Amino acid sequence: MKMLAIIPARKGSKGIPDKNAATVGGKPLIQWTVECALAAPSVGRTLVTTDSPQLADLAVSLGAEAPFLRPPELARDDSPGIDPIIHAVNWLKEKESFSSEYIVVLQPTSPLRIPGDIEAALALAEEKSADAVISISYATQHPLWMKTLDNDGRIADYIPQRKMPFRRQDLPEVYSLNGAIYLGRTSRILDTRSWYTGKTYGLVMPAIRSLDVDTLWDLRLADILLKEFMGGEPGADR
């Protein structure tokens, strides 16, 4: 199989209780990502790894798979993000003798990503013979303009420099991880346990599809975008 989609969805969330099941755009947050994965032509299977029986049941009702509950030690706040992915890949290999050439991790907190973004990430991976492709977007705040405060409250440059650029046009382009897509060659991810190698490439996504729901304000903004500007259709070209 070309690609396995894995959606990590813990039941715990400090910022928004039961965030992955919260209603946004008229649907549970996780539903947007499940439907996006199912609509991507290159995705052969869509699996949700969760420690929540309720989220597992919801995922199955939407057409995804949830063949196991994630072990508690892989669902803590301090659990490395790659560990549940490795666990899911190994579970399928051991229990079903299943493997795929690529895996793509789709976090439920990116409801505005579209199937075309997933396909673009795979196309880039194949074009570059990449180990991994990670989605990014233009940084809204440039690190050269960031400041720190000392114990007395005085401002200092976060990155010390001799001359401060005063115009945005003079700043070098920088990007932020947007959390929407982590795609990797399965064999390399298992070997390195990391998305980052010398052959990791960035897929630039537009800001409107790069919203990462972390706060109640993010949730409200996603709700507005999905209902009022995007039409609320999971397959729409948002």
Task: Summarize pLDDT for 79-107 with one digit per residue, the tens.
Answer: 889 999 999 999 999 999 999 999 999 99
Q: Per-residue pLDDT tens for 54-83?
A: 999 999 999 999 999 999 898 887 788 999
Cα 44 versus chain centre, distance: 18
Among 3.30.465.10, 3.40.640.10, 3.40.309.10, 3.90.550.10, what is the CATH number of 3-139+174-229?
Answer: 3.90.550.10
Q: Which pLDDT belongs to residue 229?
A: 66
Q: Where are any strands of DSSP class E within the chain?
A: 3-8, 23-24, 27-28, 43-49, 102-105, 132-138, 147-149, 155-157, 175-185, 200-204
Per-residue pLDDT averaged across 110-135, rounded?
A: 97
Domain ranges of the chain: 3-139+174-229, 140-173
**What is the average pLDDT value for the chain, to the nearest integer?**
90
If you average pLDDT over residues 191-198, what whole number do you get?
96
Q: What is the per-residue pLDDT for 237?
A: 45
What region, left, alpha or beta, does residue 6 occupy, with left being phi > 0 and alpha being psi -120 to 50 degrees? beta
pLDDT beyond 60 at 141: yes
Q: What pTM, to 2 d.p., does this model score?
A: 0.89
pLDDT score for 13: 73
Query: How many helices (H) does the chain have, and how many strands (E)?
Result: 6, 10
- SS3 call for 180: strand
Q: What is the mean pLDDT of residues 211-218?
A: 93
Which pLDDT score is estimated for 143?
79
Q: Cα-flanking dihedrals φ and ψ of residue 227, to 5°? A: -85, -40
165 pLDDT band (50/70/90 cuts)?
low
pLDDT in tens, 3-29: 999 999 998 777 788 899 999 999 999
pLDDT of res. 20: 94
